[in-house]
Amino acid sequence: MEELAVSQARDHLGEVVNQVHYGREMIYLTRHGRRVAALVPVEVLEAIEAAEDAEDVAEATSALAEPGPDVPLAEICAALGIPPPTR
């Protein structure tokens, strides 16, 4: 993966975006030699988000299958000392 200073990326943003989009490359953006961000093709980010969503669904499904009584949201909020959400 290539590294590019933020200032260079800013000065050549169109070219950098084309490199990521058409060249299917991932580029680390650096500031003072340290990686601070990354540019990745949209499909890469979408795949990461889909994997995270699938993991969340699996965890929620598992939690719903656990035995025990249902607890009203208002009771949970009161126990945590936070106001219940409003609609």
Asked if residue 52 lies in contact with residue 59, where contact means CB atoms within 8 angstroms, the answer is no
One domain, residues 31 and 48: no
User: pLDDT tens, 35-71?
Assistant: 999 999 999 999 999 999 999 999 999 998 999 998 9
One domain, residues 47 and 70: yes
Which domain, by its residues, includes 48?
A: 43-80
One domain, residues 26 and 48: no
The pTM of this model reads: 0.68
**Residue 30, pLDDT score:** 98
In a domain, 62, yes or no: yes
Nearest to 18 by CA among 41, 52, 34: 41
